[in-house]
Chains A and B, each alone.
Chain A
Amino acid sequence: MTKQKNDWGFFLTTISLFSGILFFFPILWLVLSSFKGSGELFAYPLNFLPQEFTLENYQRVINNGFFQYVYNSFVIAIVGTVITVVINSMCGYALAVYRKKIGYTGFVSGIFLLGMLIPSETLVISQFSVISFLGMYNSIWGVILPVVTTTTGIFMYRQFFIGVPDSFIEAARMDGASEAKIFLKIMLPLAKPTTITLIIFSFMWRWNDFILPLLVLSTQNQYTIQIAIRNYISAWTTDWSSILAGSVISMIPITVLFIVLQKYIVGTNLASGNK
């Protein structure tokens, strides 16, 4: 009986681990390739490990000003994330705690939900007109401000604050605390796991954003990493050496952030986390 169970466990472990490696393999292959020189990248036979470990691909993108793009991406991701956390927590909080005091919070929530169901990809042409009209063309604000109101963020906070007992807030109100103080001093610290989850998500979204930066940022010194990588592909040639190094660099910050904070992601309701 036990023997049979062990065999079964071994079988399941093998399949799942094999799947894991299969999913990881393309990334591994990309990373290993990025350390190969052009002589090795474009010649048969292919080797799994670099025969001659080289940083020439990385030197190439760095000499082409890649650090500027990294910096731009960081600025956009950090500023965007700070704004997202601040305003989404406020909004989600209000939609949760006033739902019994004010009749139309459900309606307001429904309107925000539309933002998830009608993706901005279908609105991007008119969004672009608004951005230009506001003078945000070729400015980081044109990339940040349109996307900081996130349905996911608002509803993550809303869901969390609905779970906090009303007596908590009522007690604070009895003590004469202002609404702002209750939010800042009592409620927001309680929502720390939600905040951390949203920080990870928001940073990732902004870091990986593609369409808006592509349309809004027009001068090269404003480009984000994604746009820089995209520009390594032209109609005639694909500069794989630069793409490989650039892609690997682009993976580092999110992977680090994820590894450091991943214990917070597990156990969070991920069902709300897509956008």
Chain B
Amino acid sequence: MLSMYEKTKINVRKKKSRDTRYYVSFWLFILPCAALFVLFFVVPLFLNIINSFFNYDGFRTREFIGFSNYVQLFSDRDFYNALYRTLMYTVVSLPFKIFIPLGLAALLVSKTTKLKTITRSLIYLPVLLSSLVVGLTINWMFSEQYGLVNYLLQQMGMNGINWATEPFFARLLVIIASTWASTGFYMLIYIGALNGVSEDVYEAAQIDGANTFKSFFKITIPLIKPTTFLVSLLSIISLLKEYALVQGITRGGPGTATTYVVQYILTTGFDQSKHGYASAASVVVMLIFAMIALIQYKFTNGGELND
């Protein structure tokens, strides 16, 4: 018979070796992801910050210049125009990104609506396309000379619209394209949320005499607030980094009317070989994203990481 003391000792040793086994397994399991994440995300993140203090052309010239890039950046009209344009684009597009999917989702969870599956698939289809092809598809519909939309306008006795040469319409077109391509995705998220609202809530509301519209606005919308928060967050992030889509429609034009900040960074960094300067611009944009991340973190209880 082993004494109590020896038993405990064996148990402790057993537990220790099991714990080691867990630590080793854990790190082996996450190693591939972690290594690639460090290599292609963490390293570039720091490299970006470091390079922002250098005059660097991406090849040979590389000299430390302190905060000069930042000083120059804040007097660079091109930069903050691009930044301002991007923020405006995000603010103006956001309501479309929320209300259109929400409305369609409400239609598609209603028991009285028929042919739901086919409708849902039709709306979801644009989500599958690449941003470039999304841009090109909308571009083709709205092309000034041979586009269907201008043709129809002319058939109705109106003048065609200069979609590509008038800044206002060029921007509108980008918003149309981006909304078109994302609606299906956000709609599915909303459908999931709406299906999650318990039937009892509606029954109770009906007994209290609320009609469908009233119960939708007074009960459903407040209940699915977390979903709306999520949709807004995902939309803001994707709007701020819009690039490929614009390449398919206006390529940033006319002039710089639709040149958003990612395009500004890429043009400055690669076409003009100003790596250091573009890195400084990236850092500023990154800070904006970090702020959004912080807001999200605050609102969702630490990203809901504790299950």
Contact = CB atoms under 8 A, between A and B. Distances in A.
A244 B146 CA distance: 13
Contacts of B192: 269-271
Interface of B: 19, 21-23, 25-26, 29-30, 32-34, 36-37, 39-41, 43-45, 47-48, 51, 58, 104, 107-108, 110, 112-116, 118-123, 125-126, 128-133, 136-138, 140-141, 143, 145-146, 148, 151, 180, 183-185, 188-189, 192, 227, 230, 234, 237-238, 240-241, 243-244, 247, 251, 262, 265-266, 269-270, 275, 278-279, 282, 285-286, 289-290, 292-293, 296, 302-303, 305-307
Interface stretch (A57-65, A190-198, A226-234): A226-234
Interface in A223-272: 226, 229-230, 233, 240, 243-244, 247, 250-251, 254-255, 258, 262, 269-271
Given A90-B33, A110-B303, 19 more contacts: A13-B114, A17-B118, A19-B119, A20-B123, A27-B129, A87-B32, A88-B33, A93-B29, A94-B29, A98-B25, A111-B37, A121-B262, A123-B282, A149-B40, A210-B130, A211-B244, A229-B136, A251-B128, A271-B230
A98 to B, nearest CB: 5
B22 A208 contact: no
B216 to A, nearest CB: 13
Contacts of B262: 121-122
A99 B146 CA distance: 59
A128 B275 CA distance: 11
A251 B137 CA distance: 12
A145 interface: yes
A250 B130 contact: yes
Contact of B289 (A41, A111, A117, A130): A117
Contacts of A221: none
A273 B231 CA distance: 11
B289 A125 contact: no
Given A23-B122, A33-B140, A126-B51, A210 B131 contact: yes
Contacts of B43: 126, 130
A91 interface: yes
B238 A9 contact: no
Contact of B47 (A129, A254, A271): A129
The 3 closest A-B pairs by CB, nearest first: A208-B130, A94-B29, A20-B122
Interface string A128-160: 111100100000000001111100001000000
A19 B104 contact: yes
A90 B25 CA distance: 10
Interface residues of A, number: 97
A24 B125 contact: yes
Contacts of A13: 112-115
Which residue among A117, A244, A250 has the maximum number of chain B CB atoms within 10 Å of its CB?
A117
A94 B125 contact: no
A interface, by DSSP: helix, strand, loop or mixed?
helix
15 contacts: A13-B114, A23-B184, A24-B122, A24-B123, A98-B22, A110-B303, A115-B37, A117-B237, A125-B51, A128-B270, A131-B40, A229-B132, A243-B140, A251-B133, A271-B227
A215 interface: yes
- Name the residue in A111, A118, A130, A145 with the highest tally of chain B Cβ atoms < 10 Å from its Cβ: A118
Given A19-B107, A94-B26, A46 B146 contact: yes
B149 to A, nearest CB: 10
Interface of A: 5, 8-9, 12-13, 15-17, 19-21, 23-24, 26-27, 29-30, 33, 41-42, 44-46, 86-88, 90-91, 93-95, 98-99, 101-102, 105-106, 108-115, 117-131, 134, 145-149, 154, 162, 179-180, 183, 204, 207-211, 215, 226, 229-230, 233, 240, 243-244, 247, 250-251, 254-255, 258, 262, 269-271, 273-274
Contacts of A258: 128
B119 A91 contact: no
B243 A210 contact: yes
B272 to A, nearest CB: 12
Given A17-B115, A29-B148, A145 B110 contact: no
A87 B128 contact: no
B29 A9 contact: no
A127 B104 CA distance: 39
A98 B189 CA distance: 29
Given A23-B122, A23-B125, A16 B30 contact: no
A187 B116 CA distance: 35
Contacts of A240: 140, 143, 146
A255 B122 CA distance: 11
Nearest to B279: A125
